[in-house]
Amino acid sequence: MLRLNLADNFLEGTIPVSLENYSQLEELDLSYNHLSGAIPEKLAGNLIELNVSENKLSGKIPSSIESCVMLEDLNLNGNFFEGTIPSFKKLRSIRVLNLAHNNLSGQIPKFLGELPLLGYLNLSGNNFDGEVPAEGVFTNASAFSVAGNDKLCGGIKALQLHECPKQRQKTGVHRKVVILASCAALFLLLVVASVCAVIHRRKQKKSGPSLASPLEKKYQRVSYSELVHATGGFSSTNIIGDGKYGTVYKGTLGSDDQVAVKVFKLRQRGANKTFMAEITR
């Protein structure tokens, strides 16, 4: 059997799954009945035309329709299908696609504009949102309809839809980079300032009188680059303690002097007071 036309009757119930057994079936028309339920997951693989419009079918449009690679005309108009449009990328022979007057939602897939033979597309009367593609069938206003989808934007000028909001993701990323860079600078300054309070005293040779300040007599001056080198670039393998306000790294200054370097967590409330308490001990 190549064609089965049961359109415009009073048929009720669900579409029988046994239809998949008619492997040679090319045209199936069940339109204008009272059929309910979902479209069977498996359909005859040689279908060229499938029309189940104006019924009471519901559920999601099965992605298995994509396996009907010979399909040229698919009409699901006037039902209660919901969810998003599944992938129809393999329907390279499709010429007519009517999904109008259902409860479909989500964005209109861009792959619909990439189907080479698609000459008529009807998505009207659904709940689609987002930007209307502007390639393929979407370049010809007389070849497609998206009427009745109030949340759509963009598309070709003939649609007279409002412009889509400009994405500001890049600006947001730029701001984050600036903030992180500022925090990093403060972090480095605090590391240099706090090292005097946490490093162990190095052995000093006795020397003559000096005009150095009390702090310079008590602690050795250490540069930030020396600290980076001593701790292996503040490597996690050198962490010997991690608390609420800071992290302590072990390191080696010079050839054998062992030190502990505490890095305060600036973003943690109370870290500044802890730092002041450390250096005044």
| pLDDT for the residue numbered 219 | 61
**What tokens appear for 257 in the block?**
């002097």
The DSSP result for 159-174, as a single string, is: G-PPPPPPP-HHHHHH
Range of the domain at 207: 169-279
Q: How confident is the model over 107-159, as pLDDT tens digits?
A: 999 999 999 999 999 999 999 999 999 999 999 999 999 999 999 999 999 99
Do the beta carbons of residue 146 and residue 128 sit within 8 Å? Answer: yes
Please indicate, yes or no, whether residues 45 and 83 belong to a single structural domain of this protein.
Answer: yes
Residue 14 has pLDDT above 90, yes or no: yes
For the stretch 112-125, pLDDT in tens is 999 999 999 999 99
DSSP-derived pairing of the beta strands 80-83 and 56-60: parallel
Residues 36 and 153 placed together within one structural domain of the fold: yes
User: How many CB atoms are located within 10 Å of the residue 177 CB?
Assistant: 10
Q: Please state, in angstroms and as integers, the Cα–Cα distance from residue 147 to each residue in 121, 162, 187, 279, following that order.
A: 12, 14, 56, 71
Residues 131 and 175 in one domain: no
Q: What is the CATH number of the domain that holds 136?
A: 3.80.10.10
Domain count, the chain: 2
Domain boundary among 159, 180, 202: 159
* 154 and 26 within one domain: yes
**Residue 238: which CATH number?**
3.30.200
Task: Using the 3D structure, point to which of 134, 159, 184 is the last residue of a domain.
Answer: 159
What is the Cβ-side half-sphere exposure of residue 266, based on CA atoms within 13 angstroms?
13
Residues annotated within the binding site are 262
Which residues neighbour 236 within 8 Å (Cβ) at sequence distance 6 or greater?
A: none
| Residue 103 to residue 108: CA distance in whole angstroms | 13
Residue 125 sits in the same domain as residue 239: no
Q: Does residue 33 sit in the same domain as residue 145? A: yes
Sheet holding 239-242: strands in order across?
A: 239-242, 246-253, 257-264
Mean pLDDT of 232-238: 77
| 176 & 235 share domain | yes
Q: Are residues 95 and 223 in the same domain?
A: no
Instruction: Quote the CA–CA distance of 125 and 145 in Å, as a whole number.
Output: 9
Annotated binding site for ATP: 262
Rounded Cα gap, residues 249 and 237, in angstroms: 9
Give, to the nearest 10 degrees, the angle between helix 169-198 and helix 271-279.
Answer: 20
With respect to residue 164, please indicate whether it lies within any of the assigned structural domains.
no
